[in-house]
């Protein structure tokens, strides 16, 4: 499909930065740009894919806007497949606005969300799956999402992998249908067991991917690191140390923190939600008891738990009970306030339970670095343990994979009733068609592009 209008938009987010980029695409991209450049002839003569310095100006008032670099891409050798120009200017929002305004004044129109990529799709520069991969790359917040998006992006012809699976299912369907015809002549419908193997192996393939996906999903919204422990142990002090400012109230009175407090922090390049919680003890009032309930809920949801206890106080019964409850968790045990006492009894007790604790003084900065290293290592380990699925590389594929799995499972379960099995299998094939964008095409495309930003 050939678009007749020419679109323009900033390609970098609004805000102050060293550089900002803008893009223009469409049949009039070169003429419109030429009107916004002082060195019009030089621009027209500059070959495609050749970077050149220019002065951008307003096409009506001739006012100088900024010194820029611009690169032309001639159709079809561009991202959209149309004539395109990319500009780089100084990264001030005012300058970006002025250049954008100049392009609009000269005849371009403001691009809609994801319109450049949509044009690339319409012009067959990319397929639906590449468009989804681009969205994935832009949106990923975690290593897991990044690796999935990358796999999709670099898979070459990812759709052919899905088509192979579709063919596998069609083959099975043909077998069942043959069988129905053949058996009906003889008056009975009972599929043979040995024909089932092919479809069972497809089911297993999807199942393995769904398991990998589950793991990814648990950390997709970011890792949760929860600081918990008895009251007055130094939990809020630790929380403040990690976030880098006095976010939580620290006080010598036990029971200071009553609600959970959270902040996003970057640990070894990974975004992590750090949560401070109310000290665990038999609360003295309803509010404190509610706080303790919340702490326990947070402990349940934690990917990494940091248990803080104070060296100068013995273990309370409530704390020991809790310690045993979460032994299975990924836990870092801290014995804080070693400036006051060595906490020998606590170390000894934990040793008997084969638990290694770090002695620390948040006040005197003893072993703070060792602790930060340990947290970093655990965050990296969780990210390393992730296995990238073969096919279920984003939320849409996950959803389709799940329905496909159910249809194939039902097919297998009803294998002996060939007609019923054939119906389930047909509905599985419909799911694959949806995956490939053969059905509900417009809906799928709209869903993908809804998540894009303007200028992409």
Ligand X SMILES: Nc1nc2c(ncn2[C@@H]2O[C@H](COP(=O)(O)OP(=O)(O)OP(=O)(O)O)[C@@H](O)[C@H]2O)c(=O)[nH]1
Give residues in contact with Mg ion (CB under 5 A).
235-236, 256-257
Minimal CB distance residue for ligand X: 279
74 versus 256: smaller Cβ distance to Mg ion = 256
65 versus 299: smaller Cβ distance to ligand X = 299
78 versus 336: smaller Cβ distance to ligand X = 336
11 versus 362: smaller Cβ distance to Mg ion = 362
Residue 234 contact among ligand X, Mg ion, none, beta carbon within 5 to 8 Å by kind: ligand X
Q: Which two tokens stand for residue 347?
A: 């170390």
Give the distance from CA 399 to its chain's centroid.
16
Q: Single out the residue of 12, 10, 20, 98 nearest to residue 59, CA to CA.
A: 98
236 versus 411: smaller Cβ distance to Mg ion = 236
230 versus 401: smaller Cβ distance to ligand X = 230
Residue 337 contact among ligand X, Mg ion, none, beta carbon within 5 to 8 Å by kind: ligand X
Q: Which two tokens stand for residue 35?
A: 């009107």
Give the other-Cβ count within 10 Å of 325's Cβ: 12
Residue 113, strand partner residues:
454
Residue 231 contact among ligand X, Mg ion, none, beta carbon within 5 to 8 Å by kind: ligand X
Rounded Cα gap, residues 172 and 166, in angstroms: 10
83 versus 298: smaller Cβ distance to Mg ion = 298
Query: Least distance in Å: CB of 341 to Mg ion?
Result: 20
196 versus 258: smaller Cβ distance to Mg ion = 258
Residue 233 contact among Mg ion, ligand X, none, beta carbon within 5 to 8 Å by kind: ligand X
Question: 164 phi and psi, to 5 degrees?
Answer: -60, -40
33 versus 309: smaller Cβ distance to Mg ion = 309
* Residue in the block written with tokens 């665990």: 280
Q: Which two tokens stand for residue 383?
A: 């990210």
Q: Is the peptide bond before 436 cis (omega within 30 degrees of 0)?
A: no
Binding site for ligand X (CB under 6 A): 231-237, 250-252, 254-257, 279, 336-337, 339-340, 361-363
Query: Least distance in Å: CB of 279 to ligand X?
Result: 3
**b/e burial code for range 217-242 (CB count within 10 A of at least 16 → b):** eebeeebbbbbbbbbbbbbbbbbbbb
Query: Least distance in Å: CB of 247 to ligand X?
Result: 11
For residue 36, what is the DSSP state?
Answer: T
Under a CB-based contact definition with an 8 Å cutoff, are residues 455 and 11 in contact?
yes
Under a CB-based contact definition with an 8 Å cutoff, are residues 123 and 15 in contact?
no
90: helix, coil or strand? strand
Give the distance from CA 122 to its chain's centroid.
26
157 versus 284: smaller Cβ distance to ligand X = 284
Query: Least distance in Å: CB of 234 to Mg ion?
Result: 8
Residue 432 CA: distances (Å) to CA of 136, 404, 440, 446: 20, 8, 12, 19
Residue 340 contact among Mg ion, ligand X, none, beta carbon within 5 to 8 Å by kind: ligand X
Residue 232 contact among ligand X, Mg ion, none, beta carbon within 5 to 8 Å by kind: ligand X
Rounded Cα gap, residues 346 and 353, in angstroms: 11
Under a CB-based contact definition with an 8 Å cutoff, are residues 334 and 358 in contact?
yes
Query: Least distance in Å: CB of 296 to ligand X?
Result: 14
Query: Least distance in Å: CB of 236 to ligand X?
Result: 3
Residue 114 contact among Mg ion, ligand X, none, beta carbon within 5 to 8 Å by kind: none
Query: Least distance in Å: CB of 270 to ligand X?
Result: 25
Query: Least distance in Å: CB of 456 to ligand X?
Result: 44
Residue 277 contact among ligand X, Mg ion, none, beta carbon within 5 to 8 Å by kind: none
Residue 362 contact among Mg ion, ligand X, none, beta carbon within 5 to 8 Å by kind: ligand X
Strands (E), 129-278: 223-228, 261-267, 270-276
For residue 193, what is the DSSP state?
Answer: G
Residue 266, strand partner residues:
271
Query: Least distance in Å: CB of 322 to ligand X?
Result: 13
Question: 285 phi and psi, to 5 degrees?
Answer: -140, 175
Query: Least distance in Å: CB of 449 to Mg ion?
Result: 46
Residue 389 contact among Mg ion, ligand X, none, beta carbon within 5 to 8 Å by kind: none
């Amino acid at each position: 499909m050939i678009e007749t209008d020419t679109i323009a938009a900033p390609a970098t987010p609004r805000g102050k930065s060293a550089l900002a980029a803008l893009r223009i695409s469409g049949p009039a991209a070169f003429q419109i740009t030429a009107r916004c450049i002082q060195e019009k002839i030089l621009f027209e003569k500059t070959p495609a894919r050749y970077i050149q310095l220019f002065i951008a100006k307003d096409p009506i008032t001739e006012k100088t806007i900024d010194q820029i670099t611009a690169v032309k891409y001639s159709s079809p050798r561009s991202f959209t497949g149309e004539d395109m120009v990319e500009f780089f200017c100084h990264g001030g929002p005012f300058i970006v606005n002025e250049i954008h305004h100049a392009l609009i004044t000269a005849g371009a129109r403001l691009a809609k969300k994801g319109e450049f990529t949509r044009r690339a799709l319409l012009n067959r520069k990319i397929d639906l799956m590449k468009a989804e991969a681009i969205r994935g790359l832009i949106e990923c917040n975690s290593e897991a999402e990044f690796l999935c998006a990358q796999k999709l992006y670099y898979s070459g012809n990812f759709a052919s992998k899905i088509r192979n699976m579709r063919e596998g299912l069609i083959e099975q369907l043909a077998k069942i249908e043959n069988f129905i015809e053949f058996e009906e002549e003889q008056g009975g419908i009972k599929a043979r067991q040995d024909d089932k193997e092919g479809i069972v192996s497809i089911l297993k393939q999807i199942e393995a991917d769904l398991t990998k996906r589950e793991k990814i999903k648990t950390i997709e919204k970011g890792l949760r690191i929860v600081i918990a422990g008895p009251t007055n142990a130094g939990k809020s002090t630790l929380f403040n140390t990690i976030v880098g400012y006095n976010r939580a109230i620290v006080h010598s009175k036990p029971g200071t923190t009553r609600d959970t407090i959270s902040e996003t922090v970057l640990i070894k390049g990974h975004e992590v939600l750090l949560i401070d919680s109310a000290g665990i003890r038999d609360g003295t009032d309803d509010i404190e008891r509610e706080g303790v309930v919340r702490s326990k809920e947070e402990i349940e949801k934690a990917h990494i738990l940091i248990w803080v206890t104070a060296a100068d106080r013995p273990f309370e019964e409530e704390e020991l009970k809790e310690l045993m409850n979460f032994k299975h968790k990924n836990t870092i045990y801290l014995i804080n306030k070693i400036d006051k006492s060595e906490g020998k009894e606590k170390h000894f007790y934990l040793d008997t339970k084969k638990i290694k604790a770090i002695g620390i003084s948040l006040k005197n900065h003893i072993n703070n670095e060792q602790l930060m290293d340990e947290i970093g290592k655990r965050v990296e380990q969780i990210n390393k343990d992730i296995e990238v699925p073969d096919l279920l590389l984003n939320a849409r594929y996950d959803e389709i994979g799940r329905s496909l799995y159910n249809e194939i499972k039902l097919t297998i379960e009803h294998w002996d009733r060939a007609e019923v099995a054939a119906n389930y299998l047909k509905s599985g094939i419909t799911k694959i068609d949806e995956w490939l964008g053969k059905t509900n095409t417009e809906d799928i495309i709209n869903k993908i592009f809804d998540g894009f930003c303007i200028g992409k």
